[in-house]
Structure 1
Amino acid sequence: MPAVVISESGGTANGDFPAKLTKQVVVCSIIAAFGGLMFGYDIGISGGVTSMDDFLIKFFPVVYAKKHHAKENNYCKYDNQLLQLFTSSLYLAAIAASFVASIFCKKFGRKLTIQFASVFFVIGAILSTGAVNLLMLIAGRICLGAGVGFGNQAIPLFISEIAPTRYRGSLNICFQLLITVGILCANFVNYGTSRLHPYGWRVSLGGAAVPALILLIGSTVITETPTSLVERGKKDKGLSVLRKIRGVEDVEKEFQSIVQATETANQTKHSYKSLFKRSRRPQLVVSIVLQVFQQFTGINVIMFYAPVLFQTMGFASDASLLSAAVTGSINVVSTLVANFMVDRVGRKVLLIEAAFQMLIAQSVIGGIISTQLKTTNTMSPTYATIVVVLICFFVSGFAWSWGPLGWLIPSEIFPLEVRNAGFFFAVGTNMLFTFLIAQAFLTMLCHMRAGIFFFFAAWVLVMLFFAIFLLPETKGIPIDEMTERVWKKHWFWKRYFDEEEDNGKGDAKQAQTTAQEN
């Protein structure tokens, strides 16, 4: 791929550093993004597998019996805590794993952390495929969760640190793009394996090893980030790698920015303790809130349980899996929109527009289901088709906004001294609320019925106001200059820095007075 010149000398008008979009950066970003393919494949595969009769007969016979009961309540046929635990246990493991990965990532680098992620995922795929009882099945899910935790902790940081500022958004969204591709692949795999009796579900679960092996092999050729190398005392190698990935010789300004950030970071002995300082609160709050909002859009209701949801509306098993594949295709195409638009129009515009779009979709879906799907009837084909179209409309909005930007923004807003710790809180929060939604959805569907869509619509409305008033724009800002150029200038968040600066000046003045007195 030919290099694309961003700046010939001195950076761009907005303060970017001299850089080209080199083949090295593109290849490294794509390979690392295969961690997203692992994550996405699991998201897509679990919902399809839990709708397969062979899987239910072996592990959840009670659910199988409820599913085929002639008079069973449409909204409650899949309400089973153990069945939900199959999906959600991965995310509990991912929370613990991402904490370990945040420490591992800082001490041993982003590259090795990514390699560990792929190893965990391969082990999890093997255990899941060969599961002979529920305990072994859950053990496989826990290993997969460790892989997700390590991968989600390291990969967005890796891409943000190697990407030229001007292309950081587009390259980072490769991670989310591969998540959507993974979901789509899983939907088609499930559609095919649903006909392979009685072991189709094993083929589906075993397929998780494919993206993990690609990542494991590919990660041997990616480079470590210059920031991580300098952070671990390898300055000469860091400078050499920076020149290589930027494609220009004049990298001194960016290198000094990295060195300065590293020296500041080295003065911070306890990054988690430092993360709770007043001046770190804006970044921490925004990164956590984005993850909560991402899950409370209701997207994982669609992605985890799309086949189950479509069967609830009256689609046959094959038709429900195919409908899920259609929404997965929309997901991929719409994420490509984010790739092309995020560094052109910025983060806020995409988030605000999509919030309006998702609000409309959730509200109308809730209205249709509340009037057309009763306790034991089947929704008419016309209304069921309209719901599928609205779900696609909803998914498209999420895919070019809150999906990819939920990972991008937290990866670019923290200063180096708390970057790993801060991003852990983003990943951990994402996994926690993914777990809560995955564990609770089928029960919520049983009790709230169509009201569940109005529940998520209310959250989307809150998200809209947050994006308008409290989210700063980070487009085009070098990653180590965020504090000065973004947070200290935001109408609301700047107050968290003014007081600290005043205190700092006061401390300095007091120290000078004491010295003079002595």
Structure 2
Amino acid sequence: METTDDVIKMNKSYTVLISLIVALGGFLLGFDSAVISGAVKGITVYFEMTEWMLGFSVGCVIFGAMAGNLMAGPLADKFGRKKVLIVVAALFTISATWSALATGYIEFITARIIGGIGIGGAILIAPVYIAEIAPPKLRGSLVSFNQLNIVIGISVAYFSNYFLVNLEGESWRWMLGVEAIPALIYFLALFTVPRSPRWLIQKLNKVQLARKILQKIGGEEYAEITISEIQRGIAKKEKKGTLSDLFQNKYTTIMIIAFGIAFFQQITGINAIFYYAPTIFEQAGGTTDSSFLQAIVVGLTNLVFTLVAIWLIDKLGRKPLLLIGTTCMTIALVMAAVAFNNASYSFSGETLGKIDDQEMRMALSDLDGRSFEGQAALFKEVESKLTANQFLDFKRNRITNFIRINATLVLVAILLYVASFAISLGPVMWTLISEIFPSKIKGIAISVVGFFNSLISFSVTQVFPWELSNLGPTITFGIYALLSLCAILFVYKYVVETKGKTLEEVEELLIRK
């Protein structure tokens, strides 16, 4: 079958420019996701949070994203991808400004949820828009721009936090508020991009307007061939898809792939790593400054290997990247679990002297000279000597004074994990989601699957502080390793290759299967 790429010469620079502008939503998503890691200590103290309050204040942005997921698809189908993205940019701006100025816990949560709604829209609609304007041979790379911008946003957030952490006063307000600047830039830049040609034809029947946009992307031949393919697809559709349509037998393969990949992208712990990176490194005995520096290295690793994924995704393919990435993720998580499992905790006059709370120091003074293998034994002994509030403070802030661990192994494990995610589940999931759904059900399908993905992410983020304090890092990373192993098996059995195929060809392949 002759494809559009075989017969036309692409205006690649124009298509790349459009994709980069739209993918700025990914930058804001990544920045918003990671910037909270630097603010954790500040907001915990200012709002007097418990472990569960902290978990919710970090994870509530995902709670908002679930609402954004449910609304984004249908709204994008009705009003267009471009208009929804403009609203998304406005929500990011409002959220960043309000969360930085918040004076109460409820007010802070509300501002974060508004940003979450923006995330829910950006993470779904930006890849869909790019997939709909991109030629088949460029689609994987261009859709991956969204993931690239996500990781750039994460890296910039870590850098921003590092330079702002030592500001006098409430530095966490500056960390959260600086996001308003790129959000406003995104809002203005979106007015320069065209509407999706596929949406213009499918929803408004504006063939001439769509033709002008497609001609600018790839010339007259490309425009005519693409319009013909879109109209051929429309001719097969009898009515707009509904929620019940997603569970028809003919869509079984599509929904298994979509729900499965959405589940494993989050359940393997990536957002726990990004949201709590400094906390994890402090658990491994690092100082505050070194932990923020190591978080920067995590962000840069994510960025570099996302670039590798963009280079490989249309060459090597989606499924091979997923298999390589999930295998290496499993190895990395086992390494982290082993490092923490081999850690010991020792009390001495020097380490006890680092506790500035005199009452706590006196309560633990009889532990001088003792060592503990593993957190469980340590916590059992310490809990009997402290009040509930003191024990919580010990688990959060004081434990790093006593740990002896191979910190290099922890750092290497986290970097390997992030690199592996960055070449696989990170970008490939969103590429697949933008490709596999037929036009008839795309709007409702991406909303449902996006909601599910955010629900899993919220659950992981909410539970992680409790896991780290109560189960300890060994069991926590061990659980993630087991789930990552399950991801390998799922990809091998269910995921199909979509490299180099038009959206219409992907639809025919999966529905036939």
What TM-score, normalized to structure 1?
Answer: 0.85
**Residue pair 1:19, 1:164 contacting (<8 A) in 2 also:** no
Counterpart of 1:207 in structure 2 is 178
Distance 1:335 1:269, change over 3 A: closer
Select 2:265's aligned residue among 271, 294, 308: 294
Structure 1 runs not aligned, ≥5 long = 1-8, 64-79, 489-493, 495-518
Runs of 4+ with >4 A deviation: 376-382
Counterpart of 1:320 in structure 2 is 291
Aligned partner of residue 475 in structure 1, secondary structure: coil
**Residue pair 2:283, 2:400 contacting (<8 A) in 1 also:** no
Q: In structure 1, what residue type is equivalent to 2:221?
A: E
Mapped to 2, the partners of 1:152 and 1:16 lie a distance apart of: 31
Count residues in correspondence. Answer: 459
Q: Identity of aligned pairs, percent?
A: 31
Q: How does 1:11-90 map to 2 (within 5 A)?
A: 11=3, 18-52=8-42, 55-60=43-48, 80-90=51-61
Counterpart of 1:390 in structure 2 is 413
Aligned partner of residue 251 in structure 1, secondary structure: helix
Counterpart of 1:459 in structure 2 is 483
1:452 Cα offset (Å): 1.1
Mapped to 2, the partners of 1:244 and 1:274 lie a distance apart of: 35
Q: Deviations over 1:47-93 (max 9, x none)?
A: 111034xx332112x55xxxxxxxxxxxxxxxx11111111111111
Counterpart of 1:260 in structure 2 is 232
1:372 Cα offset (Å): 0.6
1:17 Cα offset (Å): 6.6
Mapped to 1, the partners of 2:491 and 2:121 lie a distance apart of: 29
**Residue pair 1:22, 1:247 contacting (<8 A) in 2 also:** no
Select 2:280's aligned residue among 302, 309, 332: 309
Q: How does 1:101-500 map to 2 (within 5 A)?
A: 101-232=72-203, 233-265=205-237, 267-373=238-344, 374-375=374-375, 376=399, 378=401, 383-449=406-472, 450-488=474-512, 494=513
Q: How does 1:92-107 map to 2 (within 5 A)?
A: 92-107=63-78
Distance 1:448 1:471, change over 3 A: same
Mapped to 2, the partners of 1:108 and 1:294 lie a distance apart of: 29
1:382 Cα offset (Å): 6.8
1:247 Cα offset (Å): 3.0
Mapped to 1, the partners of 2:169 and 2:148 lie a distance apart of: 33
Q: Deviations over 1:126-185 (max 9, x none)?
A: 110110111110111111011111212210100111111001010011100111011111
Mapped to 1, the partners of 2:246 and 2:234 lie a distance apart of: 16
1:11 Cα offset (Å): 3.2
1:192 Cα offset (Å): 1.2
Mapped to 2, the partners of 1:479 and 1:381 lie a distance apart of: 53
Mapped to 1, the partners of 2:402 and 2:511 lie a distance apart of: 50
Q: In structure 2, what residue type is equivalent to 1:215?
A: Y
**Residue pair 2:250, 2:511 contacting (<8 A) in 1 also:** no
Aligned partner of residue 467 in structure 1, secondary structure: helix
Q: In structure 2, what residue type is equivalent to 1:454?
A: G
Aligned partner of residue 276 in structure 2, secondary structure: helix
Mapped to 2, the partners of 1:432 and 1:17 lie a distance apart of: 43
> What CA RMSD, in Å, does the superposition of the two structures yield over aligned residues?
1.8
Q: Deviations over 1:442-481 (max 9, x none)?
A: 1122232111111111111111111112110000010122
1:486 Cα offset (Å): 4.5
1:328 Cα offset (Å): 0.6
Q: In structure 1, what residue type is equivalent to 2:175?
A: S
Mapped to 2, the partners of 1:458 and 1:128 lie a distance apart of: 36
Q: Deviations over 1:400-446 (max 9, x none)?
A: 11111111101110110011111112211121111101101111222
1:19 Cα offset (Å): 4.9
Mapped to 1, the partners of 2:296 and 2:315 lie a distance apart of: 30
1:368 Cα offset (Å): 1.1
1:378 Cα offset (Å): 4.8
Structure 2 runs not aligned, ≥5 long = 345-373, 376-398
Mapped to 2, the partners of 1:102 and 1:22 lie a distance apart of: 27
Q: In structure 2, what residue type is equivalent to 1:462?
A: C
What TM-score, normalized to structure 2?
Answer: 0.86
Distance 1:425 1:389, change over 3 A: same
Aligned partner of residue 182 in structure 1, secondary structure: helix
Counterpart of 1:511 in structure 2 is none
Q: In structure 2, what residue type is equivalent to 1:219?
A: L
Aligned partner of residue 167 in structure 2, secondary structure: coil
